Amino acid sequence: MKLAAILAATTLLTTVSTYGSPAQATELRIATQPAPHYAPIFVAKQKHWLEDDLAKDGVTVKWSSFVAGPPENESFAAGQQDVGFMGDTPAIIARSAGQNTRIIGIAAIGPKALAVVVPKGSPIKSPADLRGKRVAVTKGSYAHHLLYIVLKNAGLQLSDIKLIHLPPADLVTALLHGDVDAASTWEPYLSRIEEAGGHVLVDGTGIKKGELVIIAIDEYAKKNPHVVEKFLRAYQRGYDFIKANPKQAGELIASDVKLTPEQFSKVLPKFDYVIGVRPEYVEELKKTEEFLRSHELTPKPVDVDAFVDTRYLKAAGGK
């Protein structure tokens, strides 16, 4: 079954909004993933900035965590989330399947935090060596797109490898136990693989920006712009804190990003928590959309320019 059909079966084509009146929401539900890609929001969470700020408006905050974008999308489809963070690929897949979301900011850019990796002692020395090999990836993730690009640049297609679809944690186990020959994944899974002796075959540098996005349910954002703006300001405040206090930040959010403070300090330089939506980031989204459409991973085209909505970011003082 095509991924788009699976998503449709999980109600992405149904109405996702639970807000039946223009009255202000009394809750902000935030979907996160346990990864350093979204470190600024975890600083805000640990500091209770959003809770304290939104309490003035009678709005409470509910946090949820997901292992990757696809299960997070299911929660959005069920009307259980208002804003969240994910890779560009799952965001576009959900939008194509009918989910009424908008990209309201860029969470991070991290090409080095996204890579194709091999285990310790692997005979695979270049992407060309992947031909006929068992390669694990989380289907519908932005690592799936990276793998496609890496293979294409080596003169290969996805059909030239034995593609195995696994959740992120299972992917790491399979690679380290020798059940697969290579994997395409992201942090913090990269760090775990490297600490076990594995190494990066090729990362996203120069080929995929590793773009993570901030999304919001369109109806929620329209009815509660001040809440969304405070949410975005909290993210920027978290980034400012990380820049000024990297060591303290690592200690503060270690459990949220699934890295020790020491690991976080090594991973941190891989990310630029830009939040702003630059023209080159929109072009990157368009490349991702084209990949998904050409491989029949989405049921219909996505107008990326319409998908990106910067009005809340601008109101929050961003660009």
CATH number of domain containing 140: 3.40.190.10
Q: What is the pLDDT of residue 141?
A: 86
Looking at the structure, do residues 311 and 280 belong to the same domain, yes or no?
A: yes
Q: What is the pLDDT of residue 70?
A: 87
Q: How many domains does the chain have?
A: 2
306 falls within a domain = yes
154's tokens: 């080596």
pLDDT band at 140 (very low <50, low <70, confident <90, very high): confident
300's tokens: 């219909």
Looking at the structure, do residues 118 and 191 belong to the same domain, yes or no?
A: yes
pLDDT band at 4 (very low <50, low <70, confident <90, very high): very low
20 falls within a domain = no
Q: 77: helix, coil or strand? A: helix
For 54-67, what is the mean pLDDT? Answer: 96
In the predicted model, is pLDDT for residue 260 greater than 70? yes
Point out the domain boundary residue: 203, 224, 256.
203
Looking at the structure, do residues 93 and 52 belong to the same domain, yes or no?
A: yes
In the predicted model, is pLDDT for residue 245 greater than 70? yes
Which among 317, 279, 70 has a CA at the least distance from the CA of 84? Answer: 70
Q: C-alpha distances in angstroms, 133 versus 19, 28, 65, 93, 127?
A: 48, 45, 33, 27, 11
72's tokens: 């997070």
Q: What is the pLDDT of residue 88?
A: 94
0.75 exceeded by pTM? yes
306: CB partners within 8 A, 6+ apart: none
Share of the chain above pLDDT 90, in %: 84
Looking at the structure, do residues 74 and 186 belong to the same domain, yes or no?
A: no
The mean pLDDT of the chain is 91
Q: What is the pLDDT of residue 73?
A: 94
Residue 217, phi then psi, degrees to nearest 5: -65, 125
16 falls within a domain = no
Looking at the structure, do residues 129 and 186 belong to the same domain, yes or no?
A: yes
In the predicted model, is pLDDT for residue 231 greater than 70? yes
In the predicted model, is pLDDT for residue 71 greater than 80? yes
Looking at the structure, do residues 195 and 215 belong to the same domain, yes or no?
A: no
Looking at the structure, do residues 92 and 216 belong to the same domain, yes or no?
A: yes
Residue 239 lies in domain: 3-10+26-109+211-315
36: CB partners within 8 A, 6+ apart: 113, 187, 188, 257, 259, 264, 267, 268, 270, 271
CA–CA separation, 41 and 269 (whole Å): 17
Looking at the structure, do residues 104 and 230 belong to the same domain, yes or no?
A: yes
In the predicted model, is pLDDT for residue 5 greater than 50? no
Looking at the structure, do residues 165 and 54 belong to the same domain, yes or no?
A: no
Looking at the structure, do residues 32 and 169 belong to the same domain, yes or no?
A: no
CA–CA separation, 84 and 62 (whole Å): 11
Looking at the structure, do residues 221 and 304 belong to the same domain, yes or no?
A: yes
Q: What is the pLDDT of residue 274?
A: 85
19 falls within a domain = no
Point out the domain boundary residue: 158, 179, 203.
203
Looking at the structure, do residues 230 and 150 belong to the same domain, yes or no?
A: no
In the predicted model, is pLDDT for residue 13 greater than 80? no
pLDDT band at 223 (very low <50, low <70, confident <90, very high): very high
For 174-178, what is the mean pLDDT? Answer: 96
For 100-128, what is the mean pLDDT? Answer: 97
Residue 160 DSSP label:
G
